[in-house]
Structure 1
Amino acid sequence: MKRAILALLLMTGAAMADPAALLNAAANGDTATVAAEIAAGTPLESRSTKGETALLLATHGNYVEAARALIAARADVNAKDAIQDSPYLYAGARGHLEILRLTLENGADLKSLNRFGGTALIPAAERGHVETVATLIAAGVDVNHVNRLGWTALMEAVVLADGGPRHQQIVEMLMKAGADPNIPDFDGVTALQHARRMGFGQMAALIEAGGGR
């Protein structure tokens, strides 16, 4: 009789474990269902058709509590989808600061690269996420990493930005963190030369003061 009850409980538990439910709940920030699926033993690294884990889906929506529950259950913060996004890389690129900090506290691979061959710092700098850039610099991400486009974080903060206050602050932060202003792009053009060409006078002054040529 006891064996029959145990078997029934095991079967019930198996029925409750539902990867699709976990993925859908994470994508919609439904923390209660995420927690229930974790408790049911649903595999945390289950994947969507695009290779996304539940944690990455929660990160897409910046659903902090759902992400927190998954990370506490030891979901992989470095698991990549079909386009090479991971929870850590995506949180950094999008400026999802709370989730980023959770990933950094739970094994984020600072050398992990996105589909452009860049670190999390490079898109964060491009998109003007000041606090995110500060967090990644403090964590120890390489400020001089060059991606497949031939650009560093400093270069993207100049070339793909608007020259405004947020990007000026990021340029200053990168320079103080040891960014080399004289690493050129694949055409041999430096960040200072780009800043001057684009009319970003304040940026150019910051770069030149840091030894840029």
Structure 2
Amino acid sequence: MRNASRKSFSLACILLAASLCQPPVAAAGVYEDLRSAVENDQTSEIAKLLARGADPNTPDERGNTLLMVAVRHKNAKLVDLLIDAGARLNLRNKYGETAIMLASYNGLYNIVEKLYVKGAEINHAGWNPLLYAATTGHPKIIQLLLDGGAAINSTSENGTTALMMAARGNHTDTIKVLLKNGADPNIRNESGGTALKWAVSREYLNAAELLKSGGAKE
């Protein structure tokens, strides 16, 4: 009888260990349902899934969180819902992007403001929200970020500034805002490029004149 009990106990331990090693199928299913709901802007369904314990910070294969997906869908209500559910604001995807960087790139002023107020980082090294907003030309967001303390002459890993990106895109209104706030037009990136050189090489004459009036040297 003792041997039978021991065998039974050992079998139970093996089965328990095996069950603990199994992937959390139910949790994975909830997460997939949650991602699908976010992509389809199903706010009420998202609220239900979050209430069931779905983790809003689980990334996909590219490191994109649900908050990033909500930003890409330009859905401020979903952003609110995910933040309230504990979404971490400064997680990065495999490209080094944060939710506020994506919002800045897409010109989503209200979402940028919301994320900043909630504590999203705007002044980190490398590509940052300011450079992203300048790339696509969003002067209002540029001013918001600068008012929040973003370093106007911050650079990407290769030395590119927000002013260079604004010049590259021929975003004259953005150039004006950056110069007005003290952007240095004579910073060079690691290849020796400047904002003026980029504007001239692309024959953006108005942008080039703005830069020269702001102190850019040939």
Q: TM-score, normalised by structure 2?
A: 0.79
1:96 to 104, 108, 130: 108
User: Which amino acid in 2 is paired with 1:137?
Assistant: L
Return the offset for 1:192: 2.4
- Where does residue 174 of structure 1 map in the other structure? 178
Residue in structure 2 matched with residue 57 of structure 1 by the alignment: 69
Task: Find the counterpart in structure 1 of residue 6 from structure 2.
Answer: none
Distance 2:44 2:95 in 1: 29
In the alignment, residue 109 of structure 2 is paired with which amino acid?
A: L
Match of 2:138 among 126, 129, 134: 129
Number of aligned residues: 191
Residue 158 of structure 2 aligns with which residue?
149
Structure 1 unmatched ranges of 5 or more: 1-13
2:191 aligned partner: 187
- Mapping for residues 3-82 of structure 1, pairs under 5 Å: 18-82=30-94
Partner of 1:108: 120
Unaligned runs of 5+ in 2: 1-25
CA contact (8 A) 2:123 2:149 kept: no
**Greater Rg over alpha carbons, structure:** 2
- How far residue 67 of structure 1 moved from its aligned partner, in angstroms, is 1.1
**Percent identity between the two aligned chains:** 29
Using the TM superposition, give the Cα deviation of residue 174 of structure 1 relative to its aligned residue in structure 2, in angstroms: 0.3
Q: Which amino acid aligns with 2:151?
A: D
Aligned 8 A contact 1:51 1:81 in 2: yes
Aligned-residue offset at 1:207: 1.7
Go from structure 1 to structure 2 and tell me whether the alpha carbon gap of 1:33 and 1:46 turns closer, same or farther (over 3 Å shift).
Answer: same
**What's the CA shift for 1:28?**
1.9
Deviation of 1:127 after TM superposition, in Å, equals 1.0
- More off after superposition, 74-83 vs 167-176: 74-83
TM-score, with length taken from structure 1: 0.80
